[in-house]
Amino acid sequence: MAPEGKGKAVGSVIIGSGKSLPERVVTNDELGQIVDTTDEWIVPRTGIHTRHIAVHETGTDLGAQASARALGLEAGGWLREKAIDPASIDMIICPTLTADAHFPSQAALIRERIGAVNAVCFDMSCACSGCVYGTSTADMLLAASAADIAAAKAAGRPPRPNPLRRILVVATERLSRLGDWNDRATCILFGDGAGAVVMEWRDDADGMLSSYMENTDDADHVLWCDSAFCDRPLPFDAVSDEAARAAAEAPCDPYMRMAGQAVFKFATSAMVRCIEEALSRAQLSPEDVALYVPHQANERIIRYAAKKMGMPSERFQVTIDHTGNVSGASALIALNEALVEGKLAVGDIALMAGFGGGLTAGACAFRI
């Protein structure tokens, strides 16, 4: 527990958490049969032993299962109190890089599956910062809606349409579909899965204490994946047949690409900077946080952050050993495992941090 008076309650409380991991577990040795790599190279460099790969599950399957567990409709999740009626969810926000369709949104597909009949839905593209961008955006929308409801009551007017009291944030990722299985520098890093939280506004409760988000230009394309549309020629282009043919035949790279060392450098500095900013905004010291729940990109990045913060590495939740990097879902999965395992209890302060393509980064502190 944070000392009395530390941290500022703003009311968005996590009332449910869930995760879903695909059935198929892929070992480092199996990857060694696909690309020129070994378990001996992967483990010390990344901390990854195995990852789950969605061979038959869709993003909707994974997202819907994580959500059902966060709502208490299916066993295996964490509930603050009791099961949550899906019809009480006002909004679904889905951070994802790998939606099953361009439209409907991934959030809308999950809505249909879980019966969240009153929810408005949208997706978010913020790569591996989805855990922080998703929950922070939900918190800001809940706070704005609560303020409007209170102002409307005081003024004797009806609140604005779409009042928000409960938001489901569900990140679902199948990075296995964006990875180049011939590129050993990236394919060994990523895994598939989904993580979800239900956030509820409470006037009398402690919840989200602070959040911080930032964006840096990726001018050198250190972390990049082109749109699958590429630049296909249109009938309106004033080009010769030959130029049109050349454009149509131009190589289209559908895979994500990463300059590993440049991203490593960005990640280590961004993670520490964002954690410090979230702590300072909540007037917390590093010791006040019971558990840091970072994005799982590389165990070495997590260990670096712990050392820089002067905290024992046990205060940082690590799940990358069995999940790999699940992009925006990583920290939500890690949070779920910490709650289910009892590493975090109601009243504790936790801090999530993320960084990734965009280049996005952020952190948020919250009381469970």
- Determine whether 128 is an active site residue: yes
* Closest separation in Å from C-beta 38 to ligand UT7: 7
Which residue out of 28, 298, 325, 336 is catalytically annotated? Answer: 325
Specify the DSSP class assigned to residue 325.
B
- Determine whether 325 is an active site residue: yes
Query: 189: which residues sit within 8 A by CB, 6+ positions away?
Result: 46, 48, 297, 298, 324, 325
Which residue out of 126, 295, 336, 364 is catalytically annotated? Answer: 295
Question: Using CB under 6 A as the criterion, which residues of the chain lie in contact with ligand UT7 when the complex forms?
Answer: 37, 41, 45-46, 128, 184-185, 188, 260-261, 263-264, 267, 297-298, 301, 325, 356
* Closest separation in Å from C-beta 94 to ligand UT7: 18
Query: 228: which residues sit within 8 A by CB, 6+ positions away?
Result: 252, 254
Strands (E), 175-286: 192-201, 208-215, 223-224, 257-258
Residue 185 or 346 having the CB closest to ligand UT7: 185
CA 151, 156, 160, 165 dihedral sign is positive
In the numeric block, which tokens belong to residue 267? 């990640």
Residue 45 or 202 having the CB closest to ligand UT7: 45
Residues 47, 164: Cα–Cα separation, whole Å: 40
DSSP 260-320: HHHHHHHHHHHHHHHHHHHHHHTT--GGG-SEEEE--S-HHHHHHHHHHHT--GGGB---H
Residue 114 or 297 having the CB closest to ligand UT7: 297
CA 5 → CA 137, 139, 192, 209, 282, distances in Å? 25, 21, 40, 12, 11
* Closest separation in Å from C-beta 138 to ligand UT7: 22
Which residue out of 94, 121, 128, 131 is catalytically annotated? Answer: 128
* Closest separation in Å from C-beta 272 to ligand UT7: 13
* Closest separation in Å from C-beta 264 to ligand UT7: 4
Residue with tokens 């996005």, as numbered in its chain: 360
In the numeric block, which tokens belong to residue 235? 């009938």
> Which H or E element spans position 62?
helix 59-71
User: Do 326 and 19 touch, CB atoms closer than 8 A?
Assistant: no
* Closest separation in Å from C-beta 358 to ligand UT7: 10
Chain position whose Cβ is nearest to ligand UT7:
260
Residue 255 or 264 having the CB closest to ligand UT7: 264
Residue 93 or 128 having the CB closest to ligand UT7: 128
Residue with tokens 């082109």, as numbered in its chain: 226
- Determine whether 295 is an active site residue: yes
Residue 32 or 159 having the CB closest to ligand UT7: 32
Q: Which residues are catalytic?
A: 128, 295, 325
